[in-house]
Amino acid sequence: MAKTSQLSSAEAAQRAAQAALDLKANDVVILDLKGVTDMADFFVIASGTSDTHVRAVAQNVEEELRKIGVAPRHEEGVAQGRWALLDYFDFVVHVFHPSLRQFYQLERLWSDAEVVRVHPREDAPAGAK
């Protein structure tokens, strides 16, 4: 798929995952969908602890990516805070309320996808995750 801004889709997905972790999102996972589907290169999946937390995580991801020139092509559910979806074309960010993440089980649905390690931020203190 095409590059998003100056970043590859893998780099942008990493930045999205890091932005989710910045707001203490739970169980942040990146799924590499290349070779599994043409829908997107990556899914970034995270959970919030409440509707408010889901909204805040999704908004932080969007704000942090906009700072580097990456804007979503479409978003859904951010205002409701149950399942926020940010579609960046090359990658899609899903931020779930825990009960909905358990119900939809995207990791199981896309079990053929490789799980990619979320790298700590470059500017994080030594030993930070």
Q: What pLDDT, on a 0 to 100 scale, did the predictor assign at position 125? A: 40
In a domain, 29, yes or no: yes
Give residue-wise pLDDT tens across range 28-72. Answer: 999 999 999 999 999 999 999 999 999 999 999 999 999 999 999
Q: Which long-range contacts (CB under 8 A, 24 or more apart) does 106-113 make?
A: 106/31, 106/43, 106/45, 107/29, 107/31, 107/45, 110/31, 110/33, 110/36, 110/37, 110/43, 112/36, 113/31, 113/32, 113/33, 113/36, 113/43
Give residue-wise pLDDT tens across range 90-114. Answer: 999 999 999 999 888 888 889 899 9
State the pTM of this model. Answer: 0.87
In a domain, 119, yes or no: no
Number of domains in the chain: 1
User: Domain holding 86: CATH number?
Assistant: 3.30.460.10
Domain encompassing residue 31? 9-112
In a domain, 121, yes or no: no
Distance CA 38, CA 23 (A): 30
In a domain, 41, yes or no: yes
Chain-centroid distance, C-alpha 15: 8
In a domain, 67, yes or no: yes
In a domain, 13, yes or no: yes
In a domain, 1, yes or no: no
